[in-house]
Amino acid sequence: MVFIYYSQGVSSQYLDFTQRLMSHLALRGTEITQQMLNESTAQMHVKHTDEQGHLDIAIEKENIKVSYTVDRERKEISKGVMGAISGAGIGGFLGNVLRKDQGFRDAVTGALGGAAAGGAYGAYSGYEESKDNRTNFASVLAETIKEVEDDLQYIIRGQAEAKEAVRERGRQKLEEDSAKKGEFRNMLEDLYGEVLAVQEEVDMAKCEGVNVTKARGRIDRAENLYKEAQASFEKNEFTAIKPRITASRNMVDKAREALSETQTPG
């Protein structure tokens, strides 16, 4: 008898699923042996109270498939054996054993064969009678799989929420950077206009014979600072832009002051 269960949408957590399932089953009194664990499949022997069988765990698309195969227990065969032997004739069965011309297993096999030929079909009644016992572990397994699935779904949702939070922070940063870039672009355009205006004033004053050495030094420094701010802008080095814009404007103001001093009558 095989019981098949699917754990929905947790294939990405396969290794964690398998380890958790084994741990939870062990806590429920399940003896687990003969484990063969791989990256996408696992096999193991399980025993729970009087029931035992094999588990096969494998990835199936986005799900995990758990197959539980119940092994036929010795007591089930032995219970039905006497009915089968009765059909074949118990005397013949005991005679074979006492003569020691064949082993117990061979004697049982011979007796069951005779029983089947004689119409004694009740030999495996123990199998049907123990279905409820077997499905006890199948129920335990189903409940355990559901618990593990719920745990992993919670983890998956948490991971998805964390990823979404990271993406949201990324989107917010992009929006903030875009807003900063727009603000700095406007500031640089205004600064460039101021530098050009003062440079024109200095050039005109020089043409008029005014000594513009001091003013020229200030406005040249202002232009260099503007260029440095522009380079930082293009590299998105926002922390370096504003101080250079401020320093450049300060030089523009000092160039104006120096130019004004040369043009003021003594």
What CATH number is attached to the domain comprising 258?
1.20.1270
The tally of CA atoms less than 13 A away on the side-chain side of residue 253 is 6
Same domain, 253 and 184: yes
Residue 46: partners with Cβ closer than 8 Å, 6 or more residues away:
25, 30, 31, 32, 52, 53, 54, 55, 68, 137
**Predicted local confidence at residue 135, as pLDDT:** 60
Q: What is the pLDDT of residues 161-215, one digit of tens each?
A: 898 899 999 899 888 888 889 999 999 999 999 999 999 999 999 998 889 999 9
Say if 190 falls within a structural domain. yes
Q: What percent of the chain has pLDDT over 90?
A: 53
Same domain, 122 and 182: no
**Whether pLDDT at 24 is above 50:** yes
Domain count, the chain: 2
Q: What is the pLDDT of residues 110-165, one digit of tens each?
A: 444 443 333 333 333 333 433 444 468 888 999 999 999 999 999 988 888 898 89
Q: What is the pLDDT of residues 42-96, one digit of tens each?
A: 999 999 988 889 999 999 999 999 999 988 544 444 444 444 434 434 344 334 4
User: Which pair of structure tokens corresponds to residue 52?
Assistant: 């035992």
Let me know: does 27 contact 53? Beta carbons within 8 Å: no
**Predicted local confidence at residue 51, as pLDDT:** 87
Domain limits for position 193? 177-263
